[in-house]
Every structure is written in structure tokens, then in C-alpha cells.
Amino acid sequence: MTPPPQTTLTPYTHGIWDRTFKTDRSLNAAKKYMGYLHEILCEQKVSELFYSNSYTGYGSEGQQFAVAINVKAEQCSTNDLDQNFLDQYPSDVVKNNLAGVNKVFIGDRLIAARPKPIPGSNNNYHSEYLLLINSTLPNQEVPPIWHLLNTDNNGCVVFYTYNSPCVKTCSTPNNCYSIIPALDMIKVHSGPKAFVFWQVWQHDNNSIKWKENIKSINDKVPLYHCDATQCTLCVNKNNRIEKKCVAQKNQN
């Protein structure tokens, strides 16, 4: 499985963005789309569907999911949401796919996943792994991110995960389930791009190894932490890591 050249990313938030990002119009559209996606999966009325007790071992009350979008390049320079995009991916369709056996939704411009139990194991395929490396779906020879990126080689791409990629599995470069090599697909994407997380994974809070892994991710794709008030670029121009990206209180 050798993916051809691909696409790029950008960040979102569930609330207000930091003023420093408002000067970058390519991020303005993406943050609005990702805010919409966060609402799809986090709105109160679907809490039982997505925050089920079956995933209490992975994320606060099982609240882990990952979503990526690729919006048209011209939409990156405006503050308006494309209603056609929103209508194309109704929340019920996305939610029903993630609640099913496969835990994955694949669209041309939107992909999403929830953790999927590994048969015969007490562990899960992590949602980032399902989107970036192997969806575990039958007859899927390339990962969902490959399809997403090649939908529009110049589009604005955002990869969002509720919890930061865990040190134990996803974010350590040489681990067997590491997502770091797969981020090269996003790195070579010619449009704007970003990797975004909502909260630091609880077991990695204040972790020295997570601090190291932040740079590994950021070396591939700009890494942002977004909360209800702002988005923060995790590695600044002086190559220093922002404290908020390393340690924080979990937000439910």
C-alpha cells in the first residue's frame, strides 16, 4: 500500500479562537467546520450514543473520537460555512456509522472514527489509527485519510482528535501502532493543514514523553490544542512547547 501524493490540514474550535489566528484566513473556515463537527459528536442529546460506558478505558467516560475534513480551497479565505458541505454529512448519518460495528465513517470530504474493540483482546484500535493507518474495513486497501486527501489536493485539511494521541500507542514514533509515519501523507499535502486535539489524554498529563512526542507530531503537521476559548499552536517560533499542550484539566 503506497499512497500517492496527498493533501493538508487546518484547526477548529468549539468556541472562540485566539486573536492571533484571525489573521490567517485559511484557518478561519476550518475552525468553523470543526466546530460543527464537534457539535455533531458532543451535543448533549447524543451523549448516550457516543459516550457509552463500553469505552471507559479510553478517554474521559469513553469520549474519544477522531474526525478529519478536507474543504474546498476557496472556502479557506471566507468566514462562511458551505451549507452544501453540512447537508452532505447529516449528523445522524455520521453518528449511526460510528455507533455501528465498524466505528468508522468515510466520506469524500469527511472521515470519522471511534475506538474499535480488537477481537480477542481487552484493547481497542484507536480512532486515529483507524483513520490514518488501517480502517480494518473489508476491501479497504488504503487508509481513510488517503481517500480524504486525494479528494482535493489543494483543499484545507484538519485532523481532529478529542484526546491527544497517547504516548503508549499512537504518538511515540517507533511504536508498532504509531501514527507518526502516517502523518507524512498530510505533510506533503499542498493545501493548508493542521492536527488538532481538544484535551491532553489523562494518562499523559505532565508526561515528559508526551512533551517529546508533541515535537514529533509538529515536525510533520502543525499541532494545535483547542479548547472552548482559543486555539494554541503547541510549538512556537522559538521551538518551545506551550504549557497548555502538555498539561491541563480534562474538559468534559
Asked whether the predicted pLDDT for residue 36 surpasses 60, the reply is no
Distance CA 119, CA 123 (A): 9
Tell me what pLDDT residue 53 has: 33
pLDDT tens-digit map of 150-201 = 999 998 888 989 899 999 999 999 998 999 999 999 999 998 888 989 889 9
Tell me what pLDDT residue 191 has: 87
pLDDT tens-digit map of 48-107 = 333 333 333 443 336 788 989 888 777 666 656 666 776 787 778 888 898 899 999 999
- Average pLDDT of 227-249? 84
Domain boundaries, the chain: 19-245
Top-confidence residue, 68 or 3: 68
Asked whether the predicted pLDDT for residue 26 surpasses 60, the reply is no
pTM for the model? 0.79
Residue whose grid cell is 512547547: 241
Tell me what pLDDT residue 52 has: 37
Tell me what pLDDT residue 22 has: 33
Distance of CA 60 to the CA centre of its chain: 17
Asked whether the predicted pLDDT for residue 125 surpasses 70, the reply is yes
Determine the CATH number of domain 19-245.
3.40.140
Asked whether the predicted pLDDT for residue 240 surpasses 90, the reply is yes
